[in-house]
Structure 1
Amino acid sequence: MYQKPKWNREGVNWPNRDSSRFIQVGNQKWHLQTIGQGPPLLMLHGTGSSCHSWAGIVPLLAAHYTLIMPDLPGHGFTQTPPEIGQSLPGMAGLLRDLLSALDIKPEIVIGHSAGAAIAAEMTLAGYIHPHAIIAINGAFQPFKGLAALLFPVAAHVLGLNPITIYAVAEGAKDRRRIERLMRSTGSVIPDDMLARYRDLFTAPGHVAGLLGMMANWNLAPLVKNMANLKTPLYLLSGSKDAAVTPASAQALCQTVPNARFINLPELGHLAHEENPHAVAAAVLAVLAPAKT
């Protein structure tokens, strides 16, 4: 097994550390944070990230909701499951088990990037029954053409090669590489957030978890089923997102009856890290009618 980030080392400066806990559910050990008061709101981060991604937006939402923020399987400080648990249905099932163990039924789900796809998968499977799903630059569409064939194959090959995983982790020690990676998404994020990504990507276990997710990710069945989603879906889309274009979110509105497109001007893929106040304002605006 590859070494995961260590809580007493990489986790020392983790945002909202005092709200963290570890919980064992079956064979899966989770790291999650719970903050705030009010109706339960589940927050699912994107590929390669962790619950630290929500640090900026947490204080803006915690006065209105109880925020439940797990590290996804294989990410951050959460254990990497067997291969079946790294797929979209597998992660949805593991999160169902976690929520059941916590006795939490989220009224709202916010998902960033791949986290939004997991939220939709869980809802369509009947694992959760939220009043709304808010997707921040939601990654609902699979890669097209040759990339659709090569991307998971490449991730699988890289994941099987310990030398590659350790090389990625070693390379992440160079701050400039992390900066280039984040900026390639169309976002410029604060230095403290860059430091947390560096902590994650220098841990071979996190890199292996990321590659395992990429290798086992298949969005095609979800895409076919999205038209059956009855839950209101709010698609918050950064106009400068270089990873998930606004055009893909607008196209989804044509097939999902209850989907609504909301533009986030001048923001990239990591919009909620880049400008938490703007994203929180958009979130609270769409949720305000549900609370009245």
Structure 2
Amino acid sequence: MNPLRLPPDWPYRDAALSLRVGRLRHWLIDTGPRDAPVLVLLHGTGASGHSFHRTIPGLAERWRVIVPDLPGQGCTISPGFRRLGLDEMAEDLWALCDALKVAPEAVIGHSAGAAIGLRMAEMRPIPLGVIGLNAALGEFEGAAGLLFPLLARGLASLPMAAGAMAALWGRPNTVNRILAGTGSPLDPEGRAMYLRLVRDPDHVTGTLGMMAQWRLQGLLSRLPAMAFPVCLIASEGDRAVPPQVSVDAARRMPQARVVLLPKLGHLAHEEAPDGLSGEILGCLSQR
């Protein structure tokens, strides 16, 4: 998405900046005290940094909060599909941190963003570790595990597919059904932001490219070796990633614990009035 097309009331638009690092042009929110320790927040597949608009205020009083749009999604422009896999995105996010001259104290990731955070922590030390919000730490099983990436790869490679899918998905009723299916129907403002995203062919292309290259087998096999702090916050009303996924993953990691939230859905940080900042600060305080 071209940042110039963002509406004036897009969350934290005034605190965002565009920064080229290598072949990527990152779009990121950078707010909070400049001399404070740094938190990096990573959104999930198909979203953008806007999804943390309720989370940021509760963190930015004491922390410098950096929220990038993932490569190819939102307003971060990717030159192609080759850098949209798990390892590549983790590498590019570390390159972004280097360009900003920051070393995050912790990474907070929602859904697929939690997996990227874990991969970042494998690459370099993150003192306070990783906090996952409804972390997507499971694989598709059986035929779906083979066909889903192939389908996404095929759609992403077709020149007209992204525009057609943006037109198909970019209907209010369709977006409402998708969000309701996660257990998080969201308010009208939240639904309108996702509607704007899915109507953008570039965002759809980047999302499909990430889905096509998403491979978690290696990361999941290394969970027992992850000797850094991990806190997994899971919603009991999540219809997209059941809380049992977090429970099972935490059992395999030596320094992991789980916090279960009643009622909220997959987008719990967009439902809760404080964006789960209280739960996040609780996890950080125990480090």
Shorter-chain TM-score bucket reads over 0.9
**Is this contact kept in 2: 1:123–1:130, CA < 8 A?**
no
Q: Report the counterpart of residue 190 of structure 2 in structure 1.
A: 193
Superposed counterparts of 1:110-125, under 5 Å: 110-125=108-123
> Structure 2: which 5+ residue stretches go unaligned?
none
Residue 67 of structure 2: aligned partner: 69
CA deviation vs aligned residue, 1:129-174 (integer Å, no higher than 9, x gap): 2312110001111111111111101101111223332121112332
What is the Cα deviation at residue 121 of structure 1? Answer: 0.5
- Alignment correspondent of 1:233: 230
2:128–2:284 Cα contact (<8 Å) kept: no
Question: Alignment partner for residue 80 of structure 1, among 72, 78, 90?
Answer: 78
Deviation at 1:61, TM superposition (A): 1.2
Q: Which moves more between the two structures, 172-181 or 109-118?
A: 172-181
What is the alpha-carbon distance in structure 1 between the residues aligned to residue 233 and residue 257 of structure 2? 9
Q: Aligned partner of 1:235: which letter?
A: L
1:138 paired residue number: 135
The 5-angstrom pairing of residues 1-292 of structure 1 reads 5-37=1-33, 38-126=36-124, 128-277=125-274, 279-290=276-287
Q: Taking structure 2 as the reference length, what is the TM-score of the superposition?
A: 0.96
Task: Give the C-alpha shift of residue 219 in structure 1.
Answer: 0.4
CA RMSD of aligned residues (A): 1.3
SS at match of 2:46: coil
Say which is worse superposed, 230-239 or 76-85, in terms of deviation.
Answer: 76-85
Is residue 178–residue 198 contact of structure 1 (8 Å, CA) maintained in 2? yes
Q: Note the C-alpha offset of 1:278.
A: 6.5
Q: Give me the whole-angstrom Cα distance separating, in 1, the residues matched to 2:223 and 2:273.
A: 28
Q: 1:41 to 1:27 in 2, by over 3 A?
A: same
The answer on whether the counterparts of 2:43 and 2:70 sit within 8 Å (CA) in structure 1 is: yes
Aligned residue pairs total 285
Question: Secondary structure of 2:76's match?
Answer: coil
* Structure 1, unaligned runs of 5 or more: none
- Give SS of 2:222's match: helix
Identity, % of aligned pairs?
A: 38
TM-score, normalised via structure 1 length: 0.94
Please tell me whether the aligned partners of residues 52 and 275 of structure 2 are also in contact (alpha carbons under 8 angstroms).
no
Aligned mates of 2:29, 2:142 — CA distance in 1: 39
| Distance in 2 between residues matched to 1:109 and 1:141, nearest whole Å | 19
Mean CA deviation greater in 136-145 or 68-77: 136-145
For 1:95, give the aligned amino acid: L
Counterparts of 2:54 and 2:121, CA distance in 1:
26
Query: Matched residues in 2 for 1:162 and 1:130: separation?
Result: 43
Structure 2 CA distance for aligned equivalents of residues 84 and 125 of structure 1? 19
- The 1-side partners of 2:176 and 2:281 are apart by 30
CA contact (8 A) 2:19 2:26 kept: yes
Q: Secondary structure at the match of 1:67?
A: strand
* Amino acid across the alignment from 1:59: P
- Tell me, yes or no, if the aligned pair for 1:109 and 1:130 is still in contact at 8 Å: no
